[in-house]
Amino acid sequence: MKDLLDVHMHTIASGHAYSTVREMITQAKERQLSIVGISEHGPAMRGSCPPIYFCNFKVIRAHDWGIDVRMGAELNIMDYSGSIDLPAQRLKDLDYAIASLHDICIDPGSVRENTAAIVNAMKNPRVNIIGHPDNPYYPVDFDAIAKAAKEQHVLLELNNSSYRPGGSRKGSYEKGKELLAACKKYGTTVIFGSDAHVDLDVGAHEMSQKLVAECGFPEELVINGRPDDFRHWIEA
C-alpha cells in the first residue's frame, strides 16, 4: 500500500512542537503525500491554542500550496461523557477533528469509564478520528471501541509516535495488536498518524506499517492509501 496522507501533526502553535505550518507542508510535499493535515492541540492542553486560533483558517489559502492542505484540531476529551474542548461554533471551522485522551486534561479511569469517554466522544458528529486509542495509560474495551467506531463512522488511529522505542506511551505497540484484532473482527477502518511535532516526522508511519504487517491486518481497512476515500469520509 502506498501511504499518501498524514493528518496528525503539530506546529509551534501547539506550544511543544518545533516547526511551522510552512515547514510541515513542505515536508509533506517532499514525501509526495496527497493530503497533509495540521491538527493543533485544543485549548485545554497547557500552552496550546486558544479557541480563536481555529476561526481564521481562510488565511492559510489551502488551495495554493500544490498539495491538499486540511486544517483540523486534536481535541481533548475532557470527561467520561465524551465532552471536548472546543465549542460547536468553532468545530464548524475545522476540516476534520481528532479526539484524544491526554493525561494533562483527564485522569485515567476504569476500563468502563475510559471506554465510555471515547465512545461518547465518537457520537459528536464533528469527530472523525480517535487519536492513540491504544494508550495503555487509559485501558479500554477494544471490542466496544472498534464496534462503536464502525457504527459512528469514525477512524481509529495507529499512532506512529506512540509505537516508537522510547515513545511517551510505553506499551502501545502491544496494545495496538489488540486494537487491530478488534478492528479486523468488526471491519473497522484505521488511519496511520505520525503525531509529528517536528517537520522531519511528517508522513513517518514506519512503526504503524510494521504493526499492520505483523498482524496481517487487511490493507483495505487502512485509509492512508485512499486519499479520495478520506476526503469523502471527513465530508460525509
Structure confidence by residue, pLDDT tens digits, 43-87: 999 999 999 999 999 999 999 999 999 999 999 999 999 999 999
Q: How confident is the model at residue 222 (pLDDT cuts 50, 70, 90)?
A: very high
Looking at residue 67, its amino acid is: I
How far apart are the C-alpha atoms of 99 and 84, rounded to whole Å?
A: 7
* Residue 33: per-residue pLDDT: 98
**Helix runs in the chain, H state only:** 21-30, 88-91, 111-122, 142-152, 160-163, 172-186, 206-215, 227-235
CATH for 5-235, options being 3.20.20.140, 3.30.450.20, 3.40.50.300, 3.30.70.2740: 3.20.20.140
Grid cell of 184 as nine digits: 479486523
Amino acid at 102: H
Q: Give percent of the chain with pLDDT exceeding 90.
A: 98
Contact 11, 40 (CB under 8 A): yes
Contact 175, 136 (CB under 8 A): yes
Q: What are phi and psi of 92, to 5 degrees?
A: -65, -20
Looking at residue 167, what is its pLDDT? 86
- Reported as a pLDDT band with limits 50, 70 and 90, residue 96 is very high
Percent of the chain with pLDDT over 70: 100
Domain ranges of the chain: 5-235
* Coil, helix or strand at residue 194: coil
Q: How many CB atoms lie within 10 A of CB 83?
A: 17
